[in-house]
Amino acid sequence: QKEVEQNSGPLSVPEGAIASLNCTYSDRGSQSFFWYRQYSGKSPELIMSIYSNGDKEDGRFTAQLNKASQYVSLLIRDSQPSDSATYLCAVEDSGGYQKVTFGTGTKLQVIP
Amino acid sequence: DADVTQTPRNRITKTGKRIMLECSQTKGHDRMYWYRQDPGLGLRLIYYSFDVKDINKGEISDGYSVSRQAQAKFSLSLESAIPNQTALYFCATSEPGTSGGNEQFFGPGTRLTVL
> With 70 as the cut, is the pLDDT of residue B99 above it?
no
Residue spans of chain A under pLDDT 50: none
Specify the pLDDT at position B98: 63
> With 90 as the cut, is the pLDDT of residue B97 above it?
no
With a CB cutoff of 8 Å and minimum separation 6, the contacts of B47 are B33, B34, B55, B56, B57, B58, B61, B64, B66, B76
- Chain A: closest CA distance from residue B53 (Å): 15
Cα B68 to Cα B89: distance, rounded to the nearest angstrom: 17
Which amino acid type is present at position A21? L
Give the pLDDT band of residue B16 (cuts 50, 70, 90): very high
Average pLDDT of B22-46?
93
Q: Do B104 and A46 touch (CB under 8 A)?
A: yes
Please count the residues of chain B.
Answer: 115
> With 70 as the cut, is the pLDDT of residue B8 above it?
yes
Cα A110 to Cα B28: distance, rounded to the nearest angstrom: 37
pLDDT mean across residues, chain B: 93
- Chain A: closest CA distance from residue B23 (Å): 14
Specify the pLDDT at position A18: 97
Q: Do A42 and B109 touch (CB under 8 A)?
A: yes
Which amino acid type is present at position B41? L
User: What tens digit of pLDDT does each residue of B39-92 get?
Assistant: 888 899 999 999 899 999 999 999 999 999 999 999 999 999 999 999 999 999
User: Which residue in chain A has the smallest CA separation from B10?
Assistant: A41
Asked if the peptide bond before residue A10 counts as cis, ω within 30 degrees of 0, the response is yes
Q: Do A102 and B43 touch (CB under 8 A)?
A: yes
The torsion defined by the Cα of B1, B6, B12 and B16, in degrees rounded to 10, comes to 160
Give the pLDDT band of residue B102 (cuts 50, 70, 90): confident
Count of H-run helices and E-run strands, chain B: 0, 11
User: Which residue in chain A has the smallest CA separation from B59?
Assistant: A1
> With 70 as the cut, is the pLDDT of residue B9 above it?
yes
Strands B31-38 and B19-25: unpaired
